[in-house]
Structure 1
């Protein structure tokens, strides 16, 4: 069965049919979903989803674009949630230089603090890096992120950067972007990296694959990503599903 390693089912785009959609996943061969915190609010939402659905796990953390909301008091609250059952990662954390806000020094401060939290709790990291390739990698090396490992979410860099992360023992999260015609660089990365380093993700409700590009995404669309990986790897779909299921369970230590 398929595991969606990065979803945002607490997003308001699912408000009308969330329960129905989630309950339909099992019969469509989706075994587990990991819902990802991206702010204090969405981390709280993730904890609620974990309690409501036995097949939903969670990651807690604050996305770089939301780090201005962090202070010592609410970071202490975040730390308290780490011991909750079914919390399997710290994320999504990292750097995002696409926008000018928040200030890069604020992003770096809280990226470092959240990496330290992952190391303290021995939980893997879910890394977000957008237009910040060098700084992300440099900070991860300085923080010795390889001690706990994790996944580079929505990997968007080239083969050279992929090699750096593979050498650190990280997985690469592959989703709908792989199916886009203009994703030449990502297709090269997927051809290059070993199958035992790939995990499937949607980032839903965003980044729907072709043929549903532009529409609301869900775990049901992972079949199109699997098809494209199978084509690039010259393997059958069952091999891709079996390998990525094993990888996801090893990444998040799900037994």
Structure 2
């Protein structure tokens, strides 16, 4: 069986409250043998860590999403650090900036982003970056703090090829999600075609960003296959070959045996 990896999932989301075990089993049945499961804040990061204990193929990344930046308690960074010390945790994230919804003030977003980026550096962990309509400021902070020193991922990449090149030069992987299957995704498809294979990851970002043919419905890790198939077609590869490459890349990025 061809192995698949979902490098970014949110199986702690309330969307899976009633059927998370069935969702995970469907992923296994289709060949997903590695899942990086993330929280959004301290509470959900803790839940992600707990969930990973039950599944040998599941790992976590802990951190505070930019939407939650305005609500962090004073000791949040110590809480993130403690969670990150769990043996199933492999990264700090997702962290970054979101100027699309602007739920938290931008100044606070930047502060919390920098603090967690520095924590990732101190702990020797990769950082998983959230960047939505904030390319310039995200790259500025990443450059200033050497955010790619321990590797990392620009998840659900939404920039152009020029930006992708800079992210790769800074030490990051480029992760492609379900929107690459959408008809109006020319820029993302260009990035998916041109990113060096050894720096390419795939993800679902479930329960969001469901790929065609299930667009509009709840996403889940099993659907990562449609993203892999689309990228493989764009690159003139067999999907099984791309699945194996991205599976290996996910292990390499997060230093998994």
TM-score normalized by the length of structure 1? 0.97
The whole-number CA distance in structure 2 between the counterparts of 1:85 and 1:7 is 19
Match of 1:37 in 2: 39
Name the Cα RMSD after superposition: 1.0
- Check whether the contact 2:24–2:221 (CA below 8 A) recurs between aligned residues: no
Deviation at 1:74, TM superposition (A): 2.6
Give the 3-state SS of the residue equivalent to 1:71 in structure 2: coil
Which aligned pairs between 1:43-62 and structure 2 lie closer than 5 A? Answer: 43-62=45-64
Give the 3-state SS of the residue equivalent to 1:145 in structure 2: coil
The whole-number CA distance in structure 2 between the counterparts of 1:37 and 1:148 is 21
Match of 1:14 among 7, 13, 16: 16
Deviation at 1:83, TM superposition (A): 1.1
Instruction: Give deviations 1:140-160, integer Å, cap 9, x for gaps.
Output: 000011211200010001011
- Give structure 2 stretches of 5+ with no counterpart: none
Match of 2:106 in 1: 104
Give the 3-state SS of the residue equivalent to 2:53 in structure 1: helix
Match of 1:114 in 2: 116
- Give structure 1 stretches of 5+ with no counterpart: none
Deviation at 1:18, TM superposition (A): 0.7
Which aligned pairs between 1:119-134 and structure 2 lie closer than 5 A? Answer: 119-134=121-136
Deviation at 1:167, TM superposition (A): 0.8
The runs of at least 4 aligned residues of structure 1 exceeding 3 Å deviation read: none
Match of 2:233 in 1: 231
Name whichever of 33-42 and 127-136 sits farther off.
33-42
Which aligned pairs between 1:1-255 and structure 2 lie closer than 5 A? Answer: 1-255=3-257
Name whichever of 41-50 and 244-253 sits farther off.
41-50
TM-score normalized by the length of structure 2? 0.96
Deviation at 1:52, TM superposition (A): 2.1
- Check whether the contact 2:59–2:90 (CA below 8 A) recurs between aligned residues: yes
- Check whether the contact 2:34–2:247 (CA below 8 A) recurs between aligned residues: no
- Check whether the contact 2:127–2:148 (CA below 8 A) recurs between aligned residues: no
Give the 3-state SS of the residue equivalent to 1:147 in structure 2: coil
Deviation at 1:15, TM superposition (A): 1.2
Name whichever of 150-159 and 69-78 sits farther off.
69-78
